[in-house]
Amino acid sequence: MAKIAKTGIFRALGLKAKMKGANYGGEWFATSGDYITSRNPTDGKVLAKIEQASPKDYDKVMKQARKAFLAWRELPAPKRGEIVRQVGEALREKKDMLGALVSLEMGKIYTEGLGEVQEMIDICDFAVGLSRNLSGPTLQSERPRHRMMEQWHPLGVVGVISAFNFPVAVWAWNTALAWVCGDSTLWKPSSKTPLCGIACQNIVNEVFKRNDLPAGLSCVTIGRGSTIGEKLVNDPHIPLVSATGSTRMGQRIGGVVGARLGRAILELGGNNAIIISDKADMKGALASAFFGAVGTAGQRCTSTRRLIIHEKIYATFLRKLKANYKNVKIGDPLDPKTLMGPLIDETAVADYEAAIKAAKEQGGKILYGGKVLRPFGAPTFVLPTIIEIENKADIVQNETFAPVLYVMKYKRFDQALKMHNDVPQGLSSSVYTDSVGEGESFLSFLGSDCGIANINIGTSGAEIGGAFGGEKETGGGRESGSDSWKMYMRRQTNTINWGGEVHLAQGVEFKA
């Protein structure tokens, strides 16, 4: 397959070298005079410059988003689902080009870029089905001839803040659900991947216009976290902020939204481990550890950061893993032969170097990697790295968003579990074992303390059908499948007296 060129991607997705960063349907606009530069992480070259939304531009967008919500909530949910079905179709048509843009701007390899767009299509399909089943239970009343039930109503304007590493899918996880739930949405994409934000908005704008829907249903304001991001999280017109990013960002946003008693879904950093038992299928464990640690150049929230390996198989497992590492083809993410692309920018590379230095100082031994590469001039490529170190080392306790894998050994399964949970984060986790006892104890209340716990598959690569998110410093939020939609609606408990006679609850008597 021939490599997709930048000009083709730009043409297909309505992108230009200079653009404006605010939109609620129709023309893009911005008045800040302050530009964000989108760079290709592969060679450091400028892809485009985007004028940030100013606070006034934000207010204009928000006014429209609030108006759109009032009209959109009037539409029956299955009709809203039909619009989301059309968004899914539009994404199918643009899958190749949008996937290529993700590779170009973010740096993940093309097959992963395509996978990310597939995830958007999948959540649209999921949301369409959901639109006919946003249901609450009917409950038994203690009062004679009464009925109780729960209803779910649209919430308002949902604010979405996304990270650079899933520059399109996380937006879709939130918006597909929010739209069928009857909400309008306002998105602040990562300022490292603004083009992905503009391209997605252009795709939905066409669908919404064709259906004559109110302007403001889908809105975007591009800008930095410290400017437009802060404006969004402080905005009392946003009842729900769904924010994906680092734990530091989540602490800030959680505090601000909490202080105004708003609702927040926080999807933050992970520190994901696989326990590899001596009773494991070695081939499967190798494949999962390899993809988990090296895939997306270690820039997934669910990337495998730690391997806790039984001492009996420790040496053999690492010998085989290193052999895989030696075969990793590093290069242009749009080249079909490439297995690992660049890190997002030079700051990420500096974090990688700092982690390796710290690991050495804290007793770590580099088993593979530890070097920065410059295949295209820009110092944004690194060797995937394996470091033998103790779990309690400070550097292991923190998430470094790069392909650095910490390995350690264990003797008894209860020791492995203790090590596994002994980090501040709690996103994704896995055990490789053919022992029912080990597997079940990993999933039990005594086992993994993460939001995602797997047996015989790795930590990375969740499906949209399940609720996605994690515990502890990962923030506690859940997005995507299962009943995550409930966060995007307001719940109402109803009691209906169909018998006529008034009965007070708990047998209270109150008569004159």
Task: Out of 301, 438, 450, 473, pick the active-site residue.
Answer: 301
Task: Strand 184-188: give its sheet, edge to edge.
Answer: 22-23, 218-221, 184-188, 157-161, 240-244, 263-267
| Residues 160 and 242 sit within 8 Å (Cβ to Cβ) | yes
CA–CA dist 402, 356 (Å, integer): 11
Task: Out of 112, 119, 267, 479, pick the active-site residue.
Answer: 267
Among residues 117, 128, 161, 286, the one that binds ligand NAD under rule CB under 6 A: 161
Least distance between ligand NAD and beta carbon 354 (Å): 15
Q: Please state, as a whole number, how many other Cβ atoms lie within 10 Å of the Cβ of residue 82.
A: 15
Q: Does 401 bind ligand NAD (CB under 6 A)?
A: yes
Is 388 one of the catalytic residues? Answer: no
Structure tokens at 285: 């464990």
| Residues 112 and 461 sit within 8 Å (Cβ to Cβ) | no
Least distance between ligand NAD and beta carbon 8 (Å): 27
**What residues from 294 to 333 belong to the interface with ligand NAD (CB under 6 A)?**
301
Q: Does 269 bind ligand NAD (CB under 6 A)?
A: yes
Is 267 one of the catalytic residues? Answer: yes
Instruction: Single out the residue of 387, 380, 342, 347 nearest to residue 364, CA to CA.
Output: 387
Q: Which stretch binds ligand NAD (CB under 6 A): 110-118, 155-163, 317-325, 452-460?
A: 155-163
Q: Does 229 bind ligand NAD (CB under 6 A)?
A: yes
Phi, psi of 290 (to 5 degrees): -65, -50
| Residues 382 and 355 sit within 8 Å (Cβ to Cβ) | no
Helical (H) or strand (E) element with 361: helix 346-361
The residue behind tokens 């306790």 is 397
Do the bridges between strand 385-388 and strand 365-368 make them parallel or antiparallel, or are there none, so unpaired?
antiparallel
Least distance between ligand NAD and beta carbon 470 (Å): 6
| Residues 121 and 114 sit within 8 Å (Cβ to Cβ) | no
Q: Which stretch binds ligand NAD (CB under 6 A): 2-10, 244-252, 388-396, 402-410?
A: 244-252
Q: Does 191 bind ligand NAD (CB under 6 A)?
A: yes
Q: Does 54 bind ligand NAD (CB under 6 A)?
A: no
Looking at the Cβ atoms of 205 and 244, the one nearer to ligand NAD is 244
Structure tokens at 304: 């495998």
Angle at 431 between CA 427 and CA 437, to 5 degrees: 125
3-state secondary structure of 192: coil
Among residues 268, 273, 423, 450, the one that binds ligand NAD under rule CB under 6 A: 268
Q: Does 176 bind ligand NAD (CB under 6 A)?
A: no
Among residues 65, 233, 309, 340, the one that binds ligand NAD under rule CB under 6 A: 233
Q: Does 181 bind ligand NAD (CB under 6 A)?
A: no
Among residues 51, 57, 105, 267, the one that binds ligand NAD under rule CB under 6 A: 267
Q: Does 435 bind ligand NAD (CB under 6 A)?
A: no
Looking at the Cβ atoms of 217 and 427, the one nearer to ligand NAD is 427
Instruction: Give the contact letters, 445-484, x = binds to ligand NAD (CB under 6 A), - = no.
Output: -----------------------------x----------
The residue behind tokens 């399940």 is 466
Burial label for 248, CB within 10 Å (0-12, 13-18, 19+), is: exposed
Do the bridges between strand 428-432 and strand 452-455 make them parallel or antiparallel, or are there none, so unpaired?
parallel
Looking at the Cβ atoms of 13 and 238, the one nearer to ligand NAD is 238
Q: Does 165 bind ligand NAD (CB under 6 A)?
A: yes
Among residues 126, 166, 410, 442, the one that binds ligand NAD under rule CB under 6 A: 166
Cα end-to-end span (Å), the chain: 85
Looking at the Cβ atoms of 347 and 493, the one nearer to ligand NAD is 347
Q: Does 429 bind ligand NAD (CB under 6 A)?
A: no
| Residues 181 and 489 sit within 8 Å (Cβ to Cβ) | yes
Give the interface size with ligand NAD as a residue count (CB under 6 A).
30
Q: Does 252 bind ligand NAD (CB under 6 A)?
A: yes
CA–CA dist 466, 216 (Å, integer): 29
Which residues belong to the active site?
A: 267, 301
List of residues contacting ligand NAD (CB under 6 A)? 161-166, 188, 190-191, 224-226, 229-230, 233, 244-246, 249, 252-253, 267-270, 301, 399, 401, 427, 474
